[in-house]
Every structure is written in structure tokens, then in C-alpha cells.
Amino acid sequence: MSIYQHDWRDVPQGYYADPKVRSRHDRKIRDERRFALFVENELGKMGYDRHDIPTASDVDRAEEIARNKF
């Protein structure tokens, strides 16, 4: 199953009919992806590879740093 199919099904009611709903939802998704990218970058700076599992405290620290940058 493609990751894009999940995005397709995860749209609010009125997404295709109301441009305001569509733009609000698209902005929310874009911000969530941008934040996740910041967190991944901070974990990379801490020495974690994509296949390593970070500790909960490192994830919290990375999210805090990402929030400050966001």
C-alpha cells in the first residue's frame, strides 16, 4: 500500500468543494511534514541513523529543538 493512499483518504469533509477547508488542511499537512523533517534532522545530528531507534528522551529533546526552529 502506498503512503499516498493514506493522504488521499485523510481529507476533511468539504475538502474538494470548499477552497478554505482545502487550504487549511493542506497547510496543516505541510506544517506537520516540515516539523517531522526538523525532528529527523535533529536526530541525525545526535548520531542516529534512519535504522536506529532513538530513546524517548532523545526524541523529546529533538522535538523541543525542532519546535524552537519551527
> How confident is the model at residue 69, as a pLDDT?
83
Sequence-distant (6+) residues with CB within 8 A of 63 are 39
| pLDDT of residue 60 exceeding 70 | yes
Residues ≥6 apart with Cβ < 8 Å to 21:
12, 13, 14, 15
Please give the pLDDT value at position 23.
92
6 has pLDDT over 80: no
- Mean pLDDT, rounded, for 10-20: 81
Q: Give me the chain's average pLDDT, please.
A: 83
Instruction: Round to the nearest angstrom and report the end-to-end CA distance of the chain.
Output: 31
